[in-house]
Structure 1
Amino acid sequence: MAYKMRIYVDGGCRGNGRSSAIGAAAAAFKNRWGKHRGWIRILPSSPRPTNQRAEITAIILALEKALEKFEQLDHNPYLDVRIYSDSKYAVRCMKKWIYKWTDNGWVNSRGYPVANRDLLEEASELDSRLREEGRVKFIWIPREKNEIADRLCNEALDR
């Protein structure tokens, strides 16, 4: 029997692209009764926060928390992890681009170094570890279906 984890993630950045930018990431686990438990992470000021860095950080946070949860279980079930994001960029990174970039030596289709490589490599390593225990799917959802993670992220940015 599979142990299901449903995780909603969101990242945000205020002042995107400016030196005064602040960023945050959030991950919210949804349990079988529909309740949520959330975590947040404030992005460091260097490298400069961006929306894309925040979205990938949210995925990293979700993967870390999923691995922590798995390690706390008193049995060793097959995992069925689904990570929901309203960022097409983050989902595409994790579903297909990351594999191409790894094969290309972290050079994008235009011949430039891949942006956010540091975070993407971390996400890839965590994803690989979690896949050793089961299945991991990254699913794009519309922003209005990501209310909990969006709220957590905005609350973190408001602090």
Structure 2
Amino acid sequence: MVYTMEIYTDGGCRGNGRSWAIGAAAAAFKNRNGNYVEAWTRSLPSYPAPTNQRAELTGIIIALEQALERYHELDSDPYLDITIYSDSKYAVNCMTTWIKKWLRNGWTNAAGYEVANRDLIEEAFDLGDRLKREGDVNYVWIPREKNEYADELCNEDMDQQ
């Protein structure tokens, strides 16, 4: 049996790069009918300073955490087929392409510096690895207009901050 999960993620930051910045991340599950059935948001901590990139990666972390939780709640042990959708090319590339190079290079980027947001990338990578023991985890970039619900969730969270 295959258990399929489709999760849409987003992250946002107001005041990106400024000391007073706020950020939020969201993840939302879609069912087979294409309806959103569950959603989660998280406000970013003030330290390290919120950025758009940290928010997008946090959205992926929320998705992976919730996928693991959902898997552990199942009565059976199905093969997982998880697709995480993000409108952030940066976040998708971190999880699919760049991480392999960074692991080989000791977390050093092409310019010779430590990889930015390493803490979040490592956390997401570890969560993804745990899920990959149970099946497939794929990251797919989508245009922003196909991610409106997750974007709304982030904005609502930041409005409340």
Aligned pairs for 1:14-29 (under 5 A) are: 14-29=14-29
Once the two structures are superposed, residues 81-133 of structure 1 have per-residue CA deviations (whole angstroms, 9 ceiling, x without a partner) of 00000000000000010111011100001111100001011001001000000
Q: One-letter code of the match for 2:13? A: C
Question: Are 2:119 and 1:133 equivalent residues in the alignment?
Answer: no
Distance 1:156 1:75 in 2: 35
Question: Are 2:112 and 1:108 equivalent residues in the alignment?
Answer: no
Structure 1: unaligned runs, 5 residues or longer: none
Aligned pairs for 1:1-159 (under 5 A) are: 1-36=1-36, 37-159=38-160
- Counterpart secondary structure, 2:124: helix
Q: One-letter code of the match for 2:138? A: K
Distance 2:120 2:97 in 1: 16
Distance 2:133 2:149 in 1: 28
Distance 2:103 2:124 in 1: 13
Structure 2: unaligned runs, 5 residues or longer: none
- Counterpart secondary structure, 1:119: helix
Dislocated runs of 4+, deviation >6 Å: none
CA RMSD of aligned residues (A): 0.6
Distance 1:102 1:57 in 2: 20
Pairs aligned (count): 159
State the TM-score, normalizing by the size of structure 2.
0.97
